[in-house]
Amino acid sequence: MKGEGCLLAVLRITISAVKLIIQIPCYNEADTLSQTLADLPSTIPGIDCIETLIVDDGSRDGTVAVAQACGVTHIVRHPQNLGLAKAFQTGLDACLQRGADVIVNTDADNQYPGHYILDLVMPIVRGEAEIVIANRQITQIEHFSPLKKLLQQLGSWTVRTVSGTDVPDAPSGFRAYSQEAALRLTILTRFSYTLETIIQAGKLGLALQSVPIVTNETKRPSRLQRNMWHFIKAQAGTIIRLYAFYEPLRTFAYLSLPFLLVGLGAWLRFLIIYLNAGGYAGLLQSLTIGTGLFIVGVLILILGILADIIGKHRQLTQETLYRLKKLELGQRNVNRNP
């Protein structure tokens, strides 16, 4: 039975034309872009057409000129720098508009060797996954300090816990997306898309896989973070906001719990002393404080219930947006092939 399934997958790949677009968000990448483009594969088994797409996020150097000289298939430009997350979403939308069946996102600094794109796209071509994320094997990267390795592992563990996935390297930006996954994802934050897409994928039930890779040594510092602590603060804020966005009732329940417990504790203290003393013992402040804290806890919990109801409406809106994108994509395909 397993062999028959593999045979059917191979037949499907053979008879279906599959288009891959490799998108590269760029911000002042003129020095490294040509090397990155030169390292990309020209053919991949199961892929009939490979195109490249540059998202120029307001570059002020010769990034666009380099892309044109290297023969990039598509160039999309932001008039000003809008950030990596916005550039990524622009790239996804542009790739879908151009008929991509598989989308690979990579960085322009040549950190990710191009030959690993084969490993990223094959699980999608075979129908085994909808998102495939490269695992940089953080512990083996020599130029990462022990503290950075620890923080990266801690961050990935947090994302796995929040999203319900098993992605070992959450911040990795070297990824492949199926057309279905690209239609489903909508980026809400501006700092980075890496954690948000994993959390969204986990909540939407998209199939994720990881493949191990060995990275090239980066030749310039990251433009996404000013320093390590800025990166930690931004990513932690993203995780908290997204968790509250997708799990509002649970989030507000956690927030209300201390108030409810302390309030009940104050009531219990008053009751125990009242019973032991055989009547009023002058501890009315415990009853007052306990009542106030308990009311605050209940109000927070009610806010959580309201937020959860709003979340259900958001899910309906998200499904509507997905269906609208699907219809637009289908109409483009009809117009291309009348």
Pairing mode, strands 19-26 and 102-105: parallel
Same domain, 206 and 93: yes
Answer for the pair 183, 227: CB distance below 8 angstroms, yes or no.
Answer: no
Q: How many CA atoms lie within 13 A of 210 on its CB side?
A: 18
Answer for the pair 142, 128: CB distance below 8 angstroms, yes or no.
Answer: no
63 within domain boundaries:
yes
126 within domain boundaries:
yes
Of the residues 229, 246, 263, the one at which a domain ends: 246
9 within domain boundaries:
no
Same domain, 193 and 285: no
> What CATH code is carried by the domain that includes residue 138?
3.90.550.10
Same domain, 75 and 164: yes
4 within domain boundaries:
no
10 within domain boundaries:
no
Of the residues 214, 246, 278, the one at which a domain ends: 246
Is pLDDT above 50 for 13?
A: no
Structural tokens at position 245: 């966005």
Q: Render pLDDT for 27-61 as a digit per residue (tens, 0 to 9).
A: 999 989 999 999 999 899 989 999 999 999 999 88
Q: What range defines the domain where residue 51 resides?
A: 16-246
Answer for the pair 38, 113: CB distance below 8 angstroms, yes or no.
Answer: no
Pairing mode, strands 49-57 and 74-78: parallel
| Confidence label for 133 from pLDDT (cuts 50, 70 and 90) | very high
The residue that leads in pLDDT, 218 or 116, is 116
| Confidence label for 10 from pLDDT (cuts 50, 70 and 90) | very low
Give the CA angle between residues 43, 21, 16 to the nearest 5°.
Answer: 65
Same domain, 233 and 284: no
53 within domain boundaries:
yes
Is pLDDT above 70 for 220?
A: no
Same domain, 253 and 290: yes
- With both helix axes pointing from N to C terminus, report the angle between 228-246 and 146-163 in degrees, rounded to the nearest 10: 10
What percentage of the chain carries pLDDT values higher than 70?
Answer: 87
H or E segment to which residue 215 belongs: none
Could you give the CA distance from residue 297 to residue 257 in angstroms, rounded to a whole number? 7
Same domain, 289 and 185: no
The residue that leads in pLDDT, 36 or 318, is 36
Of the residues 207, 227, 246, the one at which a domain ends: 246
| Highest mean pLDDT, choosing among 69-78, 134-143, 317-326 | 69-78
- With both helix axes pointing from N to C terminus, report the angle between 228-246 and 194-204 in degrees, rounded to the nearest 10: 20
Same domain, 299 and 180: no
Is pLDDT above 80 for 129?
A: yes
Same domain, 124 and 214: yes
Find the mean pLDDT for residues 148-162.
84
Tell me how many domains the chain contains. 2
Is pLDDT above 90 for 12?
A: no
Same domain, 203 and 279: no
327 within domain boundaries:
yes
Could you give the CA distance from residue 131 to residue 165 in angstroms, rounded to a whole number? 12
Same domain, 194 and 253: no
Find the mean pLDDT for residues 217-237.
68
What percentage of the chain carries pLDDT values higher than 90?
Answer: 42
Structural tokens at position 304: 């959580």
Answer for the pair 192, 84: CB distance below 8 angstroms, yes or no.
Answer: yes
Is pLDDT above 60 for 144?
A: yes
Average pLDDT over the chain, rounded to whole? 84
Same domain, 124 and 151: yes
Answer for the pair 182, 171: CB distance below 8 angstroms, yes or no.
Answer: no
pLDDT value of position 305: 92
Same domain, 318 and 202: no
| Highest mean pLDDT, choosing among 177-186, 271-280, 328-337 | 177-186
pLDDT value of position 4: 41
Total count of residues recorded for the chain: 338
Residues 6+ apart with CB under 8 A from 221: none
The alpha carbon of 21 is separated from its chain's Cα centroid by a whole number of angstroms, namely 19
| Tokens 């008053």, located at residue | 270
8 within domain boundaries:
no
